[in-house]
Amino acid sequence: MPAATLWQALADLVLPASCAGCGRSGEPLRHEVCAACAAAVGSLRAAPTRPDPPPPGLPACVALGPYAGELRELLLAFKERGRHRLARPLGALLAEAVAAATPPGAPVLLLYVPDTAAAARARHGDHMRLLARAAAARLREAGRSAAAAAPLRALPKADSAHLTSAQRAAGAAAGFALRSRGIERVRRTAPGCVTMLLDDIVTTGSTLAAASELLAGAGVRVDGCVTLAATRRIQPQRAIWS
């Protein structure tokens, strides 16, 4: 391989030249995102979302947008394709949703749904930890008092792809444990703050409900949940003519 070609290949490996949202190459990128994709996700407006049926114990939930299009691609690139520089723009989007979900100016404490140890290893870091920290930093830049804390750890879990909603809810309830140091910090910080629980995507809501209930049992009230994306559940086929 000629040296120039090898250099080009290595450069591409280190600095992906294609947009993480649309995959186009040759566009100027900021934090791995082209201007068109940045505009697309920037036009999303956070709104309340509610799984149907909502699981018991699920706090009010706000999502930035549907799990589709550029938002979905950026999340997948960040979580599954190692595009870690997306933490900053995705954290900024999450901060917007937090701002929409909380009273203006109120100090916020951001908790998050953690990765399992295996997922965090595969991703070279807990992806929600990175997003929660980036969101808190963005809120502070905007003049808000904001901190991120980690009172939960995720227990190893079996593959849940083929489980029913009820089985997933039961699995979610058993999916977390409290981190004693993290929970102490949250107990100290939470009074006077609006406490929000963050995740990347809400589908059935069972994960957010289970994490919220575990925190409530430890004396930490979750005031609301904020996610980047909400999936639309595919309803079971109904007979049209019955």
Query: Which of these ranges, 34-42, 136-144, 170-178, 194-202, lies near Zn ion under the rule CB under 5 A?
Result: 34-42
Residues 44 and 86: their CA atoms lie apart, in Å, by 17
Query: Which of these ranges, 12-20, 39-47, 125-133, 137-145, lies near Zn ion under the rule CB under 5 A?
Result: 12-20
According to DSSP, the β-strands at 146-148 and 108-112 are parallel
Cβ-proximal residues to 8 (8 Å cutoff; 6+ apart), any chain: none
**Closest CB 37 distance from Zn ion, rounded Å:** 3
According to the binding rule CB under 5 A, does residue 22 interact with Zn ion?
A: yes
| Strand stretches in the chain, DSSP E | 29-30, 33-34, 47-49, 61-66, 108-112, 146-148, 152-154, 176-178, 194-202, 224-230
According to the binding rule CB under 5 A, does residue 37 interact with Zn ion?
A: yes
Question: Which lies closer to Zn ion via its Cβ, residue 74 or residue 139?
Answer: 74
Question: Which lies closer to Zn ion via its Cβ, residue 90 or residue 208?
Answer: 90
**Closest CB 75 distance from Zn ion, rounded Å:** 14
Question: Which lies closer to Zn ion via its Cβ, residue 70 or residue 200?
Answer: 70
The SS3 call for residue 59 is coil
For residue 199, the one-letter residue type is D
According to the binding rule CB under 5 A, does residue 137 interact with Zn ion?
A: no
**Closest CB 199 distance from Zn ion, rounded Å:** 24
According to the binding rule CB under 5 A, does residue 34 interact with Zn ion?
A: yes
Residues 18 and 37: their CA atoms lie apart, in Å, by 12
According to the binding rule CB under 5 A, does residue 21 interact with Zn ion?
A: yes
Please report where in the chains the tokens 């929000």 appear, as a residue.
196
Q: Which of 19, 44, 111, 228 binds Zn ion (CB under 5 A)?
A: 19
Question: Which lies closer to Zn ion via its Cβ, residue 34 or residue 44?
Answer: 34
According to the binding rule CB under 5 A, does residue 99 interact with Zn ion?
A: no
Compute the C-alpha angle 108/112/116, nearest 5°: 165
C-alpha atoms less than 13 angstroms from C-alpha of 60 in its C-beta half-sphere: 11
- The count of chain residues that interact with Zn ion, using the rule CB under 5 A, is 5
Q: Give me the residues that bind Zn ion (CB under 5 A), please.
A: 19, 21-22, 34, 37
